[in-house]
Amino acid sequence: MPEAGVAAKGLGRAVIFLGPPGAGKGTQAKQIAESYGAPHISTGDMFRDHVSRGTPLGLRAKAIMERGELVPDDLVLSMVEERISREDCRHGFILDGFPRTLPQAQRLEEILGRCKVQPLVVHFVVDANQLMRRLTGRRTCAIGGEIYNIYDHPPKVPGRCDRDGGNLVQRPDDREEVIAERLAAYQRQTSPLVDYYRGRGVLRDVDGMAAPATVTKDVLEVLAQKQ
Ligand code: AP5
């Protein structure tokens, strides 16, 4: 990460969106990153991009993602380290879906510590029984990545993005049996990070069950607070 000095403008921090699959991290990260003009770094999107381009990394990640398991730490870490070392991350960035394991969190802490950047973790709290409905109903624009839900946030024209008319597609890992494994992986490997960051005093809970616009307002309030 560039010596940010650190960041007189923009987000000025490494903001981490933490929460289970379907908690609304991507929905919120897209909006908030846009409003701050900050990079939205989604490791899931980065892997999906590698898969669609058929890169060596994509070929390794594809089967793992289709099983709902986590990609090995070393592959994730080298990809993220390269991304956050770029110039556009100088004034802060949003991490969506990273870190997801203790070793990932510890490595991120070392990197941020070197640059004297404080992390701020926004933890999306959502009832577990909502997640299956959210994920099976999710559809994503193939062009701009806009996120919809066929039950709760449908597009005006079925199958078409309101913004750019792109095709709405379902992620291959949004099938019930894969979702169950993703939720289990979250409990096993990622949920310990809630205590890890809470213990460091850098975690703020946000009610992810509220309407999306309310969640956005709540997250913006958290980001506006001095730590
Ligand atoms: P990734 O793409 O990161 O998926 P995820 O964490 O499972 O999270 P999702 O994208 O499914 O959910 P979200 O919280 O973003 O919810 P969204 O906003 O879309 O990872 C995919 C895979 O990549 C992993 O399984 C793993 O294999 C690999 N991977 C990625 N990062 C990795 C890492 N660091 N380490 C190892 N492996 C990694 O919303 C979901 C739905 O809910 C939408 O339909 C939306 O419209 C709706 N919704 C959103 N907010 C609300 C609301 N407030 N009220 C009602 N509905 C809402």
pLDDT in tens, 60-100: 999 999 999 999 999 999 999 999 999 999 899 999 999 99
Residue 216 has φ and ψ, to the nearest 5°, of -60, -45
Going by C-alpha positions, the residue among 65, 73, 105, 90 that lies closest to residue 194 is: 105
- Alpha helices (H) along 54-101: 56-67, 73-84
Q: How far is the CA of 155 from the centre of ligand 1 (A)?
A: 19
Which of 18, 41, 43, 141 for mutating ligand 1's site (highest number of atoms within 8 Å of CB)?
Answer: 43
| CA distances (Å), origin 9, targets 93, 151, 216, 217 | 12, 39, 20, 20
Residue 58 CB less than 6 A away from ligand 1: no
Give the nearest ligand 1 atom to 138 CA.
44
Q: Tokens 């990460």 — which residue?
A: 1
Domains and CATH numbers, the chain: 4-225 (3.40.50.300)
- Distance of alpha carbon 202 from alpha carbon 18, whole angstroms: 12
pLDDT at 9: 53
pLDDT of residue 118: 86
Atom of ligand 1 nearest to the CA of 101: 35
Mutate to test the pocket of ligand 1, among 18, 27, 65 (most ligand atoms within 8 A of CB): 27
C-alpha 14/C-alpha 93 separation (Å) is 5
Question: Distance, CA 22 to ligand 1 centroid (Å)?
Answer: 5
Return the pLDDT at 227: 61
Helix, strand, coil tally for the chain in percent (to 5): 50, 15, 35
- Phi/psi of residue 93, each to 5°? -165, 165
What pLDDT shows up at residue 10?
75
| Spans of the chain, pLDDT less than 70 | 1-9, 226-227
